[in-house]
A and B are shown apart, each in its own frame.
Chain A
Amino acid sequence: MDKVKIGTCWLDGCSGCHMSLLDLDEGIVGVLEKADIVFGPLVDAQEWPEGVDVALIEGAVSSQDDLDLALTARERSKIVVALGDCAVTGNVPSMRNGIPTRKLLERVYVEGATEGRGVPTDGVPALLKQAEPLHSAIKVDVHVPGCPPKPDAILFVVGALLEGRMPDLGSKLRFG
């Protein structure tokens, strides 16, 4: 039997959800018996491959790159999981949303800088007007809140998806 293909990525997040994913401890052995991680910060692939079964997406959609990657992941994956509070609610990245983007960038890179003042434009993606939850950009199949989601919640969700079931978090549901 072919192994299930898992892709992961982080958009506007802190990588904490990926840390929690690594924190499955020996649980990850069971996952990797049934699945391969084919894309993500933990592996070497450069582009989100076709035919991914489960996409675990951390972070809010905050920049043009975030949006592009989210759209690609959606297009090439069967099931998309919003992993963690940033992907589910916007969380900390969304705290900038009341401030116009230009003002925000100037506050940080001009007023707040002591050297190299100026809003960077080269090699950085354009910020979107607001950092939004993942489901505002693409269709999301499973939401796993938590900051980060606890390893056992991630294992529960991934385990169910590997068995072809849609998980119901129940008492494992936790924001923050």
Chain B
Amino acid sequence: MTEKVKVRIDGEVIAATAGQTILEVARANGKYIPALCYMEGLSAVGACRLCMVEVSGVARLLPACTTPVQEGLAVNTSSPQLESYRKIAIELLLVERNHVCAVCVSSGHCELQTLAQDHGVTYVRYPYNFPRLTVDATHPRYVLDHNRCVLCSRCVRTCAEVEGAHVWDMAGRGIQTRLVSELQRPWGESTTCTSCGKCVQACPTGAMAEKGWGVEEMTKKRAVVSRLSSIREGQ
């Protein structure tokens, strides 16, 4: 039994289904809320903090991707304050690792790069972290570059929820968090990886790429992952 609810997004009254998240309802109605860790067809984790919205009666900001709608909910998707926080979130993502667009396979097709450009990030106000990070090129077909990873966990969820292999996980905490395959075994030595490549397609940046592409050449088929997931839901 699906319960219908009425919500207000940026003043507009919208009919939604209880259980849907603010982000799902907003997107279904053509409202833009930026997001990076969210991907249609995967569980939502609220990791990137880009989809924060203002909800009437709630003093703090809430992530639109993990907040379910309820009757009478009123949401603001943009305000000068939200825009300034989103810019900060993007800048902090950029300083954490070494996002060098000029030599990236995904330049021009990167969700982080696009977000920075769309939100008017012309430079980053915080000091760069410049961490020394590794590149795992042990897999015969794919490569993982930690320099470009934003820890969105879309690969982790794609592998666990869509492919069912659960090769990927996060290890460590805070700024030391790293994406790991099979308890830190190199990707190429993983016994559970099916080499399906869906993690690569789901990755928003150039952190995961197919081997053999040059700068700007790696375009991703993110919709494939979402479509697979929706087909299976229907079964």
A contacts, CB < 8 Å to B = 82, 85, 88-92, 94-95, 97-99, 130, 132-133, 135-136, 140, 143-145, 147, 169-170, 173-176
Contacts and interface: CB of A to CB of B under 8 A. Distances in A.
Given A143-B123, A173-B117, A176-B113, A92 B103 contact: yes
B123 A135 contact: yes
B101 A147 contact: yes
Select the residue from B102, B116, B124 with max chain A CB neighbours within 10 A: B102
Contact of B117 (A85, A136, A175): A175
A176 B216 contact: yes
B98 interface: yes
B158 interface: no
Nearest to B118: A173
A97 B130 CA distance: 6
B127 interface: yes
A85 to B, nearest CB: 6
Contacts of B127: 136
Contacts of B98: 94-95, 98
B77 to A, nearest CB: 21
Contacts of B122: 88, 143-145, 169, 173
Given A92-B102, A94-B128, A176-B101, 14 more contacts: A89-B100, A90-B130, A92-B100, A94-B98, A95-B98, A98-B133, A99-B132, A132-B128, A143-B123, A145-B122, A147-B101, A169-B120, A175-B101, A176-B104
A91 B131 CA distance: 14
Residue from B101, B107, B124 having most chain A Cβ neighbours under 10 A:
B101
Contacts of A89: 94, 99-100, 123-124, 128
Interface residues of B, number: 25
Interface string B70-112: 0000000000000000000000001000111111100110000
Contact of A176 (B102, B121, B133): B102
Contacts of A90: 128, 130
A90 B124 CA distance: 11
A94 B130 contact: yes
A89 B131 CA distance: 14
A83 to B, nearest CB: 12
Nearest to A88: B123
Contacts of A144: 122
Nearest to A96: B130
B106 to A, nearest CB: 9
A94 B100 contact: yes
Contacts of A133: 123-124, 128
Nearest to B119: A173
Most central of B121, B122, B216 by chain A CB within 10 Å: B122
